[in-house]
Every structure is written in structure tokens, then in C-alpha cells.
Structure 1
Amino acid sequence: MTGDQLIDEGRRLARPCVYLRSTGEHLAGIWGGDGIIPCGDGPYRHWLSIGTQYIPDGRSKSPGCLSIYTNEDDCTSGIVAIDDERILSEASEGLRLYAHPDSSLPPLEAVFKFGSSEVRRWLTSNNWEPEWGYNDNFPDRTATGIYERKYQSQLPLFSGDAYAVLGGWHMPWPEGDWDEMVEKQLIVWTFADSEPWVEAWRDDNNYSVIQRIT
């Protein structure tokens, strides 16, 4: 299998996403400031408030607001505060961010796990199981190297061209929880002012925040 064929597999598995940048037409987020929705007392830092109608595959396209806070004491968790009655405002304190809809290529873990029968045959020829994910021990590094360069070119973690992304694919982290998060919905992933990188997740009606560090 060639690198271009791997990229085609990734495009088939791509998920919709919305990049948040400081220029644009449609206000979709407020970076920093006190936060649109208060989270109560505690050692919390507000990262980002977003208009819920911009979350890809969101349950509601009606205006509402969601604010992300991290716990500055434990440096691992955080709070998602939601209010369906509030909307973002140009007058809100903080940096205004605008929506740029796009699609998110998956990491190689997803291509290995959810790829076509051709991917499975290629993995077998490399004596590799899909559930092993991807690491530097994989034999065919030429093909995977081409895919990795394409993947990284569209991810602001590497390109630095967005403050955050709504939706899309999540990245494997050293914590090793990539498989665990596959069935959950990635709400937002921050890139600016890191570390930490902050992720907010939804699983049914439950929300959680993860702070990532290297």
C-alpha cells in the first residue's frame, strides 16, 4: 500500500470539524476572559466559550453557549458549563474567534482500526495487528511517513494556525486512552497557550475535560 492510498483511506474516514481562528465572518468562540457562563468558586481558569450551534454533529443548531474551564490545582480535570439560553456577543470580554468549517483526517490508529480490507491485507503483510495502533516499530515506514506528514500538515497542533478546533478526530497521547475515547464525541480541543492542551468531551449527556501535557 502506498502513502497516497493511505491518505485516500484517511479521507474516507475524515470527520467534520470547525477551526477557530482570530479572523473570519461568523463569531463562534471567545478565547480567555472571564467566561460567558460562570462555573462558580474554585481554582478555575476559563479557556474558551463557544456557540453550541458550531459544534459538528451537535444535538442542537439553535444558539446556545458552552464554556470550558480547567482546574488549576489538580492540572488534570475541568468543568464544562452550558446554557442553552445564552449566546456569544461581540461585546464579550476576551479574543473573538471565528468559524472555519473543514474536515479532520484521522491518525493512523483510526486508519488501521477502521480501514478497508485492503488496509487489513497490508497490515497482515507487515505482520501487524490493527489493535496495536501505530508506532515506530511498524515495518513500512515509507507509506506511513507520507501519511503522517499529510496528517500533521492539517492539524493545528503542528501548524499553529488555529486557537482550537470543534469536533474532528482526537490524537493518540502518551496516556494511551485513544481507543477508550473513540466512541465519545470530541467537543473542543485547544492549541494556543499550551501546555496543557485542553479537550472537552461528551458521552451521552455527560461532559468531561482532560488536560494533556507531554
Structure 2
Amino acid sequence: MTGLFVAVLAVQLRGSRYVPAIYWTVVVLISVVGTLLSDTLVDKLGVGLRTSSLVFAAGLALVFLAWWLSERNLSVHSITTTRRELFYCGAILLTFASGTSTGDLVGESFGLGYGISALVFAGLIALTALAYYAFKVNGVLAFWIAYILTRPLGASMGDLLAQSPKDGGLGIGTTLTSAVFLAIIVGLVTYLSRTGADEIAAARAERRAA
């Protein structure tokens, strides 16, 4: 999966403009690799969820620090160079790894269960949105807080659907759960490709002119 991710990332880096299908394929593969990093540490190497959550969170903080010291800007709208895109990919890789560990930590080790865990993270995202829209919190800060929180939210929702009832899930299974999420992703990416709804105005005008 890492090899496939690197191959698709190379295609993304060589492109001169945003192409939804390529970009979101990179994101999907990053999500898989990040999840596997967490699962490998916890399930194969016996690292505790608390430790793995802290390790990945520390790694994410270091990526943000290096990104800021290098570029002085963490806005996703400023990603116009290969170096900035690599910083961005490193950040989202570690958000997926950290989010998987943190979601499992809250749902399993803290004993809240997957459903309550998902509600907790969804509530934190809602509070972040409130802080941005009502109290005018910095947009870049609000974006990254919400972005990071979507990872444990996704992990909790995935576990809720996939795990067996005796483990606190609904028992749908990993294969069907993955297929459902993949179908939703494909539908959304198709919509974005056709409408350009996620592009800033200048990029949308350039694409339509081409």
C-alpha cells in the first residue's frame, strides 16, 4: 500500500493543477497507510494505544513546526510548491495514524464504546465550527483542528459499523463497511470533478477556460 501511495503521489506532484480524482486517490491511500501504521504498532508490535497516540501526535506537531518554520504559512490555499505539498502529505498521513490510535483509545481503552466516541469527536468538530463562525477563530487553525478530529471520528464510525456486536459494533464487517465508505467517496469525488465546488474561484475559472 505504501508503494502504491508513493506511485500515485508522484503523479500528483508532477501535475500542474488540481485534479480531484488524482488528489483524492492520494488521500484515500494515505488514509490506508496511516491506519496500517497505527494498527501495525498496536496489533503487531504490542505498542499501547496511549503510547501510539502520543507518538503520532508528537510527530504531527513536528511536521507542523517544520512546515511553519520553512514556509511561515499552514493554509491549504498556499500549497503551490512541491515542498509545501510534501509537508501537507506528511501532516495528513500522521493525522490518519494519530486519529486511528486516538479513536481506538477513546472507544476501547476509555470504555466509551464506538458510538459514544463518534459523538464525542463529532461534538468537538461542531464546537470548532461554532468557534470559527460565531467567534471568528483563525480560519487556518479552525481548519486543522477540524481536519485532525475527522480522523478519530472516522475510525470510531468505521469500528462501530465493522466490529461484531460482542465487541460493541453493529457487525456489518470490514469488507462491507469499506465498500460503503468507498462508494460515498467515489460519489463525492465525481460530484467535485463535475462541479468544481471545492476549488477557489481563480482555479475554477482557469479550469473552465481550459
Which structure has greater helix proportion?
Answer: 2
Of structures 1 and 2, the one with the larger relative CO (CA 8 A, separation 6+) is 1
**Which one has the bigger strand percentage?**
1
Instruction: Give the TM-score normalised by the residue count of structure 1.
Output: 0.25
